Amino acid sequence: MSEIGGIDQSLTAARPQAMAALLRYFRDLDAAEEAFQDACLKALLHWPRNGPPRDPVAWLIMVGRNAAIDTLRKTSRTQALPAEALISNLEDAEADLAERLDGADYRDDVLRLLFVCCHPGLPATQQIALALRVVSGLGVRQIARAFLVGEAAMEHRITRAKARIAATGAAFGAPSAVERAERLTVVAAMIYLIFNEGYSASGGGAVNSSRDQLCDEAIRLGRLLLRLFQVEPEIMGLTALMLLQHARAPARFDAAGGVVLLERQDRGRWNAAMIAEGLALIDKAMRHRAPGPYQIQAAIAGLHARAATYEDTDWVGIEQLYAALERLQPSPVVSLNRAMAVAKVSGPEAALAMIEPLAGRLSGYFHFFGAKGALLMSLGRDLPAREAFQRAIALAQSPAEAAYIRGHLDRLSGAAPDQA
Amino acid sequence: MLYAILCYNSEDLVTSWTQAEDDAVMARLHVVHERLEREGRLGPSVRLMPTTTATTLFKGEKPMVVDGPFAETKEQFLGFYVIDVASLDDAIQVARDLGEANPTGAYEIRPMSLYLPGAPLG
């Protein structure tokens, strides 16, 4: 690893915290970003010479803030302090600041930075793009690639999002306990959106790696949030959920980019370290006896992760967890998932009866028809199965999804040549 | 003389390594591990999971379990145990038992992501 490469990593790792503090000073995203950029340039200059500071975050905040003040002075034609003197003075100030940053201030700073990106006036895709740019520091080109749009379009989208935030203003006061809890909920949802953006549509090749990056980034933000809010079981649940789902990434696609369903995945390729960490977090969260949607979903993913083979899956446990999730956060998609677990426990007839009432609300949902087709097929009702699969193909969001269903259709035609 | 070497690094940094970067570091370390183990000089080595997975038991008359790692301020890192239990609850129970025998300070309970037994020492 080259020295500059190492510094780059430190800067990336320090970015969310440093940006968060700079946003508190400047109350403006662009100004905070500029100050951070300035600080990074100075780091690239000074760190190879003097060695990296003990606390890179505190260093970047100090230097970023001073550089911005310096620029202000220059533009107002007053005498600027020599930059070198400022930087050599940093050691004490750095220790001072680091101490202060350990306090609650710091937590609220990072939460605020993430919360600002979740501005309710912005559509979800813009919130995510903005967070990836501002908080994670991903390049516009990388973000554009992950969202499958052009670089110019993404640049425009981010600029517009920032303008919208600047126009309406953000809350810079210290949040009350209730506000803090609300912000945490909103921010957790945004982080999970980032994760899903990476997880749901990933396929093979170069797109896959930029999508994977979104999952990694979401996990990083989840861990960061958890370090700052250590006693929040839902943040433990969220981080566990993302780790357990992402652990399966290496087995989710075949060499041709086709979807490999859970039942056919090579479990040896699952990431054992991520699974272990996810399970440890669930263990921790459970002790609070305060179940929430992320914890329950994580527990479901945990049961899959614990099963040595698909046949060993604890479907009774999974069905119970989906039933709990249904009570806590009723949605037709959750009911559909519960029905699929019921199919394993009580058979496809029972599951079909459960999904029938969902038809109206899930008439535009790929997985509804995929699941319905699979249930009908397992009952040997080929004609309605074929109809369901055809509806599914029409609703597929990716070539991989469509190819998977087409595989079913091929099998149906192969199995019943006499019906043709 | 037996020594412990305690590993410190920025967690932000280490957890943002890509799998390839992490693998590369571990491969380089492994070369050193192997040599030391062959020489009979390396006992158990451990990589801990991130501090987000940690739980701390504050000892005393009424031991208190708190989420998160132990923040070193007045107390110093003085030793550690390696235990094999089925769950966090069991680990906390072990810590409570130890805490009864030695009722001051705190125990941080942190799952391991890697445990290498190494060579028999002593």
User: What percentage of chain A reaches a pLDDT higher than 90?
Assistant: 62
Q: Which of A54, A101, A138, A223 to mutate to test the interface with B (most CBs of B within 10 A)?
A: A223
- A220/B88 Cβ within 8 A: no
> Which pLDDT band holds residue A102 (cuts at 50, 70, 90)?
low
Q: Nearest CA to A245 among A210, A205, A209, A198?
A: A198
A211/A249 Cα distance (integer angstroms): 11
Average the pLDDT over A323-334 and give the result: 96
Q: What angle separates helix A177-200 from helix A233-246, to the nearest 10 degrees? A: 10
> Which pLDDT band holds residue A420 (cuts at 50, 70, 90)?
very low
CB distance A381 to A348 below 8 Å: no
A195/A146 Cα distance (integer angstroms): 12
Token digits for A71?
């620029």
Average the pLDDT over A199-213 and give the result: 66
Per DSSP, the three-state class of B106 is strand
Average the pLDDT over A403-411 and give the result: 91
- B51/A224 Cβ within 8 A: no
> Is the pLDDT at A236 greater than 80, yes or no?
yes
> Which pLDDT band holds residue A88 (cuts at 50, 70, 90)?
very low
A-chain CB neighbours of B16 within 8 Å are: 9, 12-13, 216, 220
> Which pLDDT band holds residue A206 (cuts at 50, 70, 90)?
low
Work out the mean pLDDT of chain B and round it to a whole number.
Answer: 92
Predicted complex: ipTM over 0.95 = no
> Is the pLDDT at A78 greater than 60, yes or no?
no
With respect to residue B85, please indicate whether it lies within any of the assigned structural domains: yes
| B93 has a chain A CB within 8 A of its CB | no
What pLDDT, on the 0 to 100 scale, is given for residue B55? Answer: 97
What size, in residues, is chain A? 420
> Is the pLDDT at B107 greater than 90, yes or no?
yes
CB distance A4 to A48 below 8 Å: yes
Find the CATH number of the domain harbouring B15.
Answer: 3.30.70
Q: Which of B8, B12, B47 to mutate to test the interface with A (most CBs of A within 10 A)?
A: B12
**Backbone φ/ψ region at A381: left (φ over 0), alpha (ψ -120 to 50), beta:** beta
CB distance A198 to A232 below 8 Å: no
Q: Nearest CA to A157 among A184, A128, A181, A199?
A: A128
Report the 3 state secondary structure along A270-328.
Answer: CCHHHHHHHHHHHHHHHCCCCCCHHHHHHHHHHHHHHCCCHHHCCHHHHHHHHHHHHHH
> Is the pLDDT at A179 greater than 80, yes or no?
yes
Average the pLDDT over B57-73 and give the result: 92
> Is the pLDDT at B119 greater than 50, yes or no?
yes
Q: CB-based contacts of A284: which residues, under 8 Å, 6+ apart?
A: A233, A236, B53, B55, B67, B88
With respect to residue B30, please indicate whether it lies within any of the assigned structural domains: yes
Cross-chain CB nearest to A13 (options B13, B19, B53)? B13
Average the pLDDT over A386-401 and give the result: 91
> Is the pLDDT at A97 greater than 70, yes or no?
no
Cα-based distances in Å from A77 to A36, A66, A70, A73, A252: 23, 16, 10, 6, 60
What pLDDT, on the 0 to 100 scale, is given for residue A85? Answer: 46
Phi, psi dihedral angles at A134 (to 5 degrees): -80, -45
What pLDDT, on the 0 to 100 scale, is given for residue A199? Answer: 85
CB distance A130 to A10 below 8 Å: no
Burial of A13 (0-12, 13-18, 19+ CB in 10 A): buried
What pLDDT, on the 0 to 100 scale, is given for residue A418? Answer: 45
Nearest CA in chain B to A278: B53
Domain count along chain B:
1
> Is the pLDDT at A90 greater than 90, yes or no?
no
Q: CB-based contacts of A415: which residues, under 8 Å, 6+ apart?
A: A382
Predicted confidence (pLDDT) per residue in A36-67, tens digit: 999 999 999 999 998 888 888 899 999 999 88
Cα-based distances in Å from B10 to A10, A54, A104, A108: 9, 10, 20, 21
What pLDDT, on the 0 to 100 scale, is given for residue A417? Answer: 46
Q: CB-based contacts of A123: which residues, under 8 Å, 6+ apart?
A: none
Average the pLDDT over B102-110 and give the result: 93
With respect to residue B2, please indicate whether it lies within any of the assigned structural domains: no
Residue B53 is classified by DSSP as G
Domain limits for position B55: 11-116
B-chain CB neighbours of A12 within 8 Å are: 16
Q: Which residues of chain A from 16 to 55 reach within 8 Å of chain B, CB to CB?
A: 17
Closest-CA distance, B102 to chain A, in angstroms, reads 25
CB distance A273 to A228 below 8 Å: no
The amino acid at A116: V
Per DSSP, the three-state class of B61 is coil
> Tokens 């649940």 label which residue?
A237
* Range with lowest mean pLDDT among A151-160, A201-210, A282-291: A201-210
Instruction: Please report the beta strands in B5-105, taking only residues with DSSP state E, as ranges in sequence order.
Output: 45-48, 55-58, 64-67
Predicted confidence (pLDDT) per residue in A238-290, tens digit: 999 999 999 999 998 888 877 788 999 999 999 999 999 999 999 999 999 99
What pLDDT, on the 0 to 100 scale, is given for residue A213? Answer: 85
| B11 has a chain A CB within 8 A of its CB | yes
Token digits for B15?
């957890």
> Is the pLDDT at A82 greater than 80, yes or no?
no
CB distance A346 to A337 below 8 Å: no
What pLDDT, on the 0 to 100 scale, is given for residue A393? Answer: 95
What pLDDT, on the 0 to 100 scale, is given for residue A9? Answer: 85
What pLDDT, on the 0 to 100 scale, is given for residue A352? Answer: 97
Closest-CA distance, B45 to chain A, in angstroms, reads 16
> Tokens 């809350």 label which residue?
A171
Report the 3 state secondary structure along chain A.
Answer: CCHHHHHHHHHHHHHHHHHHHHHHHHCCHHHHHHHHHHHHHHHHHHHHHHCCCCCHHHHHHHHHHHHHHHHHHHHCCCCCCCHHHHHHCHHHHHHHHHHHHCCHHHHHHHHHHHHHHCCCCCCHHHHHHHHHHHCCCCCHHHHHHHCCCCHHHHHHHHHHHHHHHHHHCCCCCCCCHHHHHHHHHHHHHHHHHHHHHHHHCCCCHHHHHHHHHHHHHHHHHHHHHHHHCCCCHHHHHHHHHHHHHHCCHHHCECCCCCECCHHHCCHHHCCHHHHHHHHHHHHHHHCCCCCCHHHHHHHHHHHHHHCCCHHHCCHHHHHHHHHHHHHHCCCHHHHHHHHHHHHHHHCHHHHHHHHHHHCCCCCCCHHHHHHHHHHHHHCCCHHHHHHHHHHHHHHCCCHHHHHHHHHHHHHHHHHCHHHC
Work out the mean pLDDT of chain A and round it to a whole number.
Answer: 87
A192/A245 Cα distance (integer angstroms): 11
Q: Identify the top-confidence range among A52-56, A128-132, A201-205.
A: A128-132
A-chain CB neighbours of B89 within 8 Å are: 283, 287
Predicted confidence (pLDDT) per residue in B8-54, tens digit: 888 888 888 888 889 999 999 999 999 999 999 999 999 999 999 99
What pLDDT, on the 0 to 100 scale, is given for residue A1? Answer: 44
> Which pLDDT band holds residue A205 (cuts at 50, 70, 90)?
low
With respect to residue B6, please indicate whether it lies within any of the assigned structural domains: no
CB distance A213 to A141 below 8 Å: no
A371/A352 Cα distance (integer angstroms): 9
> Is the pLDDT at B68 greater than 80, yes or no?
yes
Cross-chain CB nearest to A284 (options B11, B24, B88)? B88
Cβ-based neighbour number of residue B21 at 10 Å:
14
Nearest CA in chain B to A287: B89
| A277 has a chain B CB within 8 A of its CB | yes
Q: Identify the top-confidence range among A144-158, A197-211, A351-365, A403-417.
A: A351-365
Cross-chain CB nearest to B67 (options A13, A280, A284)? A284
